[in-house]
Amino acid sequence: MKQRKFLITGATGKTGVYTTRHLLDAGHAVRAFVHREDERSEALRNDGAEVVVGDLLEHDDVIRAMDGVNGAYLCFPVLPGYIQATAYFADAARRAGVEVVVEMSQISARDDSKSHAARDHWIAERVLDGSGVPAVHIRPTFFSEWLTFPWVRDSIVDEGKITLPYGAGRHAPIAAVDQARLIATVLAQPNDHIGKTYPLFGPVEMNQHEIADEIGKVLDRKIVYQPSTIEAYRTQLEKYDLPEFLIQHFLAISIDYQNGIFSGVDGVIGAITGRAPQTVGEFVKTNLQAFAR
């Protein structure tokens, strides 16, 4: 196999760290783009990655990081600036002549979204498509890791409740490690995927009552779904000092969730990678420490 080199942004994040390791394990070279040096970046360096520190909102940083790579993964946090970052990334990728950019979008990305972040993702997709850079967009539903975020996890652990304003909506949670396996596969073998947009889901679609039951089975305790209101959810999120941009996004996509925007089951990851994504139960078993009281 010919070794190739890939730029992975958000390299210490949920999908980035697994993508980096998948590619290194396959014998490829990885340039891990991080915002700062810390124990997580040092772990990637110890794994064999080339670590570079930079900012996706600094054009020169992105141009330097893109130089000499065959493909790149673009992942940006839910913060303002994604359209600008995507424009910089597309320009740097065009200059470098990369074979593929895999872009992390989201299932709720569309031109009439009430979420500013979701609409930014939709526009960022169009920026990449219009740049002429070979691109693949992935649009995951809620990550399985969503269950471990403090504003969700704390009520599960402390009160035995999922308290979210999701009504009777459904989704199939998808773990970051399974997404990363797809990302690494598409980067290494891009030809059949260029120009495509892949919605990413787990294997089993569930409502919040069913998710609560599944978590409870693994933890051997009663977990229930107690629906919240949008107003109460805002109050809950504000307790965690989240930025308003993120809160606005979470509130808007709660309505999307109720309206079925997040629903669906895997038809991509298993087919492309040859391995089905893990279930909610499997995710909780693998991450028991995250739910420890």
Question: Token match 């652990």: residue?
Answer: 157
Asked if residue 292 is part of any domain, the answer here is no
Calculate the CA dihedral of residues 156, 210, 224, 160 and round it to 10 degrees: -20
Asked if residue 245 is part of any domain, the answer here is no
Asked if residue 75 is part of any domain, the answer here is yes
Low-confidence ranges of the chain (pLDDT < 70): 1-2
- pTM reported for the whole predicted model: 0.96
Instruction: Give per-residue pLDDT as tens, 102-146.
Output: 999 999 999 999 999 999 999 999 999 999 999 999 999 999 999
pLDDT value at position 19?
A: 98
Asked if residue 156 is part of any domain, the answer here is no
State the amino acid at position 97 in one-letter form.
G
Beta strands in 126-246 (DSSP E): 135-140, 161-162, 170-171, 197-200, 206-207, 224-225
- Helix (H) / strand (E) containing 251: helix 244-258
pLDDT value at position 110?
A: 97
CATH classification at residue 119 = 3.40.50.720
pLDDT value at position 3?
A: 81
Asked if residue 290 is part of any domain, the answer here is no
What is the C-alpha separation between 104 and 179, in angstroms, rounded? 10
Where does residue 196 fall: left (phi above 0), alpha (psi -120 to 50 degrees), or beta otherwise? beta
Question: Token match 């039951």: residue?
Answer: 213
List the domain range (segments joined by +) for residue 63: 5-141+176-200+263-277
Asked if residue 223 is part of any domain, the answer here is no
Token pair for residue 212?
A: 């609560």
Asked if residue 103 is part of any domain, the answer here is yes
- Helix (H) / strand (E) containing 29: strand 29-34
What is the C-alpha separation between 67 and 62, in angstroms, rounded? 9
pLDDT value at position 293?
A: 82
What is the C-alpha separation between 271 and 125, in angstroms, rounded? 24
Instruction: Provide the 3-class DSSP secondary structure of residue 181.
Output: helix
Asked if residue 194 is part of any domain, the answer here is yes
Number of independent structural domains in the chain: 1
